[in-house]
Amino acid sequence: MPQAHIWTGTALPPAAMAVLEGLATVSVSRVGERNDWYAEASAADAIIVAGETFVTGEVMDRIGPRLRVVARTGIGVDRIDLDAATRRGIMVVNTPDGPTESTAEHTIALLLNLCKQVMIGDRILRTGHPFPALPELTPGLEVADAVLGLVGLGRIGSRVAAIARVLGMKVIAFDPFITPERASMPGVELVPSLAELLPRAQVVSLHCPSTPETRHIMNAGTLSLMPRGSYLINAARGALIDEAALLDALRSGHLAGAALDVYDPEPPITNHPLFTHPNTICTPHIGSYTTASVLRMRVMVCEQIASALRGERPSNLVNAAVWGHQRD
């Protein structure tokens, strides 16, 4: 039986290549995923794409009839047309367990940075202003005994909750899809609605997927429910926030600050007004970008592809309805 062929936008480490040994050959893109890579992938049985890459039905057709698997390193598949993939018999897989620790740590880093005004102080000194007297600054927030509100209590949200509890924070969470196991998580109070969570939280952190239902879940109305002087963090998906409404809340002083690792769209425009606001921290979607996380995700995505190539049902098959009529 001839080996399958895999196209990837970035080179795979030896540990990931070892998973595919004897199953497939691998080619690495010469043009990158922000350019026209479809002809390169036309001989592929499987492709490995990053989170910012769109894979529409048209893209699937341009790649061709050999394509059997679209594999995403990471969690979000909002840029992959799942219905189109299912209609064509193409399996979509991801690695939901891969980025958990690194993204949770990044969220906590943003939280402490915001509450302790690290970036604000850093900017003052870097711009050449005199060393400020303390009365000239706004006091930060001591996180011990502060209330952290989590919107979403899945893998990453749960890990953020655990770390925040170690810091002494009181954690409340809203997640309408919570499992019984998560519902009994020690030290986390579940609340029945977003409207009940927001007024109680001094810091709100978003950890839900991007869906039509969650688009702009943080908008002018919901932002107004947050206490004056509170903070918002988003290391999940940019579409969860109405960025214009967030800017208004920051400019009015209703929010003391916001920390963002994701934007809508991505990549965002150059010189986005959120980047230059004095009370924001903005990072370029690097929450899961650590050596350990990248290695873990690339090994895991190859394990998913290997399962599919062997005719096994991948454990992280996103479009489950395709199973039974997938392409051979």
Of the candidates 159, 285, 296, 298, the residue annotated as catalytic is 285
Which residues, listed in sequence order, are joined to residue 258 by a DSSP beta bridge? 232, 280
Domains of the chain in start order, with CATH, are: 4-98+291-322 (3.40.50.720), 100-282 (3.40.50.720)
> What is the C-alpha separation between 168 and 147, in angstroms, rounded?
9
Of the candidates 266, 277, 303, 327, the residue annotated as catalytic is 266
- The residue ranges of the chain whose pLDDT is under 50 are none
Let me know: does 209 contact 151? Beta carbons within 8 Å. Answer: no
Of the candidates 207, 237, 296, 298, the residue annotated as catalytic is 237
228 is written with which tokens? 């004056």
What's this model's pTM, rounded to 2 decimal places? 0.91
296 is catalytic: no
Question: CA 21: distance to chain centroid?
Answer: 30
**Cis omega (within 30 of 0) for bond into 267:** yes
266 is catalytic: yes
Q: Which helix (H) or strand (E) holds 70?
A: strand 69-72
pLDDT of residue 155: 93
178 is written with which tokens? 């919570």
Let me know: does 115 contact 95? Beta carbons within 8 Å. Answer: no
Q: In what order do the strands lie in the sheet with 147-151?
A: 188-190, 170-174, 147-151, 203-206, 230-234, 255-260, 280-282
40 is catalytic: no
pLDDT of residue 183: 72
pLDDT of residue 186: 85
**Residue 138: other Cβ atoms inside 10 A:** 12
